[in-house]
Amino acid sequence: MTFDKKLLDDLTDAVERWENDTLKKALERLPERREEFITQSSVPINRLYTPLDVADLDYLRDLGLPGEYPFTRGVHASGYRGRLWTMRMFAGFGTAEETNARYKYLLEQGNMGLSVAFDLATLMGYDTDAPEALGEFGKCGVAVSSLRDMEILFDGIPLGEVSTSMTINSPAPIIWAFYIVAAEKQGVPMDKLRGTLQNDILKEYIAQKEFIFPPEPSMRLVTDTIEFGARHMPEWNTISISGYHIREAGSTAVQELAFTLADGLEYVRWGLARGLDIDDFAPRLSFFFNVHNDFFEEIAKLRAARRIWAREMKETFGAKNPRSWLMRFHTQTAGVSLTAQQPEINLIRVALQALAAVLGGAQSLHTNSMDEALALPSEHAVTLALRTQQIIAEESGVVNTIDPLGGSYFVEALTNQTEAAVYEYFRRIDDLGGVIPAIKVGFFQQEIADASYRHQREVDTGSRTIVGVNKYVSEEAPSIPILQMDPNGYDRQVARLQTLRRERDNEAVERALNALRDACLGTANTMPYLLDCARAYCTLGEITDVMREAFGVYHEPAFV
C-alpha cells in the first residue's frame, strides 16, 4: 500500500473540499447521532478513513503475504481454503460421566476438538470432598479429583485421535499428568498426544484470581511443563497465553492484547533462563483471545497480535525457525457480553463475534451458548452455538478468500493504532521492572478496574447501549430450557474418591508424594514426579497439598 506524494497531496485537497462542501451540507440536513463515535474500548473512531490514514504503511514490511512474516494476514498461506479453524466447544459439568456424554454428543454433531472446563474445586487444587470445596461441585465445570476421574472423562474417546484443550492453571501440571497417564492406559504414548494446556498463571494474578502458589514457584511449574513438552511431547501446546480472562475482567481490547503479549514474552524469558533454545519451545506456545462486540476493533486486535509477536520473536529474541514467529490462537466469544435479559438475542451477538474471529484469522473457536448468563449450556443451546460456526464456515462465503478485510483503510489504520498502544503499555510495564513486579504493585489490576468502571458508567448513563438491558427492554421473563445436572452426582463422586483411597496401594502413594516433595524443594523438573503420582492414584488434593507445603500459598496484597 505505497502511495505517491502527488496522490496524497491531491487526496488531502479532495478531503478538505469534501468536508467543506458535501459533508457540511449533509450534516446540515441530517446531524450525526452522537458527538463522538467510539469502539467498545472507548477509542475514538474517525468519520472517514482514506489512504491518508495509512500513508506510512509499507505493504511487505507491515502486512506481507499470508503464511509469511510478519503474518498480519494470517499464519496459513491458503487461509481457510485449505483447512477450516477447529470448532472446539468448551464443556464440562458435574461428574465425569455426565461430561463424557456431552463430549460424545458434541463429536457426533461435528465438533472437531474437545475443550475441558473444570469446576472451581479442581481449579483451586481441592478434592471434591474437601471442606473448602463444599457447594462448588460441578457448577462451572467437571470435577476431576484423580486419575480415575480422568479415565472416566475420556472413556470411549480415543485420545490418540482427538485434540484436547484443558482450561486449568495453578494445578495444570497435575491435571496434565492425569491426562498423559489416562492416555498411557489407553495405549497412546505421550509423544502422540495433541492438545493444549492453558497453564497461564500470570493472567491469574492479573485478572482471574485462581492462583494457589506465589508467582515465582508458579512460574517454575509453568517452565517445568514447557521444558517437559519440548523434550517429550512435540505435538502438545504446553501453554495457552490467555487474554480471554483479562477481557472478561473488564479490560479494553488494547489492554487485553498488551497484557497477554507481555505475559507471553515473560514466559519466553523464563524458558530461556532455564537453558532452553527458543526454537525448541516457541513453536508450541499458543494464545487465547476474547472476541467482543466491536466487530472491527476485534479484527484489528487479532491482526496486530500476529504482527507484534512475530516481530518480538524474530527481532528481539532472535528465533531462527519461522514456526517460532507464528502466533497461533484460539478464540472464544465474549461471555461477559451475554445478557440474562432476552437470552435468545445472545445468538446474534455470538454470531457477529464469531464472524469477527474468523475474519481475524483464528485457528480455533468456541462459540458461547445463548443461555450461559443463566446456567451451564443446555444440549439445545450448545448445538445452536456450534451450528453458528458451521454456517459461517459452509454458507457465508467469508472463507473463500484469504484475509478479505486486508487493505481496508479503516482496518489497517486501527491495526496500526492498536499496535502503537500495545508498545506504549510495554514501555510502562518495563518502567515498573517487568511483569511480576507490575503484578505485585497492582498495575494491571488497576488498569483493568479503571477500564471496567468507565465502561459501566457508559452503560449506566446510556451513552453505551446494551440491547435488552438499557434500551429495547422487555419485561418478559426468559422461557428457555435450563440444563439440569444429576442430583446424585456429588454423592457418586465422593463415594468414588473414598473407594479409591481405600483400594489403591497407599504405600506407593506415600512414596510418590515424598519424591514429589523432594523435587519441589529442589530444582528438578516436577513433571516426571507428577506422572508417578498420577500412576499411583494420588488425588489432586494430596498432590496440591505437597506443593502448598513446599511453595507456600499466595495472598494478594491490598492495593491502595
- pLDDT tens string 155-191: 999 999 999 999 999 999 999 999 999 999 999 999 9
pLDDT of residue 446: 96
pLDDT of residue 487: 83
pLDDT of residue 162: 93
DSSP state of 133: G
The whole-chain average pLDDT of the chain stands at 95
Please calculate the CA angle 536-541-547 and round it to the nearest 5 degrees.
90
Q: Within this chain, do residues 535 and 426 fall inside the same structural domain, yes or no?
A: no
Q: Within this chain, do residues 385 and 453 fall inside the same structural domain, yes or no?
A: yes
Q: What residues form DSSP beta bridges with 118?
A: 142
- Select from 444, 461, 478 the last residue of a domain: 461
Q: What average pLDDT does range 95-116 have in this prediction?
A: 91
Q: What average pLDDT does range 375-401 have in this prediction?
A: 95
For residue 336, tell me if it sits in a domain.
Answer: yes
Q: Within this chain, do residues 526 and 436 fall inside the same structural domain, yes or no?
A: no
pLDDT of residue 89: 87
Q: What average pLDDT does range 241-250 have in this prediction?
A: 97
Q: Within this chain, do residues 456 and 493 fall inside the same structural domain, yes or no?
A: no
Rounded Cα distance, 70 and 322, in Å: 10
Q: What average pLDDT does range 67-94 have in this prediction?
A: 94
Residue labelled with grid coordinates 507456600 = 552
Low-confidence winner among 34-38, 200-204, 216-220, 543-547 (lowest mean pLDDT): 34-38
For residue 67, tell me if it sits in a domain.
Answer: yes
pLDDT of residue 493: 94
Rounded Cα distance, 254 and 455, in Å: 14
Rounded Cα distance, 198 and 119, in Å: 15
For residue 159, tell me if it sits in a domain.
Answer: no
Using the predicted structure, report yes or no on whether residue 482 has a pLDDT greater than 90: no
Q: With bands split at pLDDT 50, 70 and 90, how would you rate the model's confidence at 1?
A: low
For residue 383, tell me if it sits in a domain.
Answer: yes
Give the three-state DSSP class for 231.
helix
Q: How many CB atoms lie within 10 A of CB 214?
A: 16
DSSP state of 164: E
Give the three-state DSSP class for 185.
helix
Number of domains in the chain: 2
pLDDT of residue 113: 86
Q: Within this chain, do residues 513 and 394 fall inside the same structural domain, yes or no?
A: no
pLDDT of residue 511: 98
pLDDT of residue 4: 86
pLDDT in tens, 298-319: 999 999 999 999 999 999 999 9
pLDDT of residue 560: 55
pLDDT of residue 486: 82
Distances (CA, A) of 250 to 96, 167, 446, 459: 32, 20, 11, 13
In sequence order, which ranges of 522-553 are alpha helices (DSSP H)?
Answer: 527-535, 540-551
| Residues constituting the chain | 560
Rounded Cα distance, 98 and 105, in Å: 11
Rounded Cα distance, 117 and 123, in Å: 9
Residue labelled with grid coordinates 517460532 = 324
Q: Domain of 404? A: 60-91+198-461
pLDDT in tens, 23-34: 999 999 999 998
pLDDT in tens, 40-54: 888 899 999 999 999
pLDDT of residue 447: 97
Q: What's the whole-model pTM score?
A: 0.95
Q: With bands split at pLDDT 50, 70 and 90, how would you rate the model's confidence at 293?
A: very high
Q: Within this chain, do residues 514 and 451 fall inside the same structural domain, yes or no?
A: no
For residue 126, tell me if it sits in a domain.
Answer: no
- Select from 461, 476, 504 the last residue of a domain: 461
Long-range Cβ pairs for the range 321-325 (8 Å, 24+) = 321/279, 321/282, 321/283, 322/69, 323/279, 323/282, 323/283, 324/278, 324/279, 324/282, 324/283, 325/69, 325/70, 325/71
Rounded Cα distance, 545 and 174, in Å: 12
pLDDT of residue 73: 97
For residue 284, tell me if it sits in a domain.
Answer: yes
Q: Within this chain, do residues 457 and 517 fall inside the same structural domain, yes or no?
A: no
Question: What totals of helices (H) and strands (E) does the chain contain, helices first?
Answer: 22, 9
Q: What average pLDDT does range 330-337 have in this prediction?
A: 97
Sign of CA dihedral 315, 413, 292, 330: negative
Q: What string of DSSP letters covers 498-527?
A: HHHHHHS-HHHHHHHHHHHHHHHHSSS-SH
Using the predicted structure, report yes or no on whether residue 294 has a pLDDT greater than 90: yes
Q: Which cell goes with 391?
A: 454456517
- What are the two backbone dihedrals, phi and then psi, of residue 385, each rounded to the nearest 5 degrees? -65, -40
For residue 302, tell me if it sits in a domain.
Answer: yes
Give the three-state DSSP class for 461.
helix
Q: With bands split at pLDDT 50, 70 and 90, how would you rate the model's confidence at 456?
A: very high
Q: What residues form DSSP beta bridges with 90?
A: 115
Rounded Cα distance, 87 and 102, in Å: 15
Q: What string of DSSP letters covers 13-68?
A: HHHHHHIIIIIHHHHHHS--S-S--B-TT--B--S---GGGGTT--IIIII--TTS
Q: Within this chain, do residues 451 and 355 fall inside the same structural domain, yes or no?
A: yes
Q: Within this chain, do residues 294 and 379 fall inside the same structural domain, yes or no?
A: yes
Q: Within this chain, do residues 351 and 495 fall inside the same structural domain, yes or no?
A: no
Using the predicted structure, report yes or no on whether residue 358 has a pLDDT greater than 90: yes
Q: Within this chain, do residues 249 and 345 fall inside the same structural domain, yes or no?
A: yes
Q: Within this chain, do residues 355 and 502 fall inside the same structural domain, yes or no?
A: no
pLDDT in tens, 253-276: 999 999 999 999 999 999 999 999
CATH at 422:
3.20.20.240
DSSP state of 482: -
pLDDT in tens, 519-538: 999 999 999 999 999 999 99
For residue 430, tell me if it sits in a domain.
Answer: yes
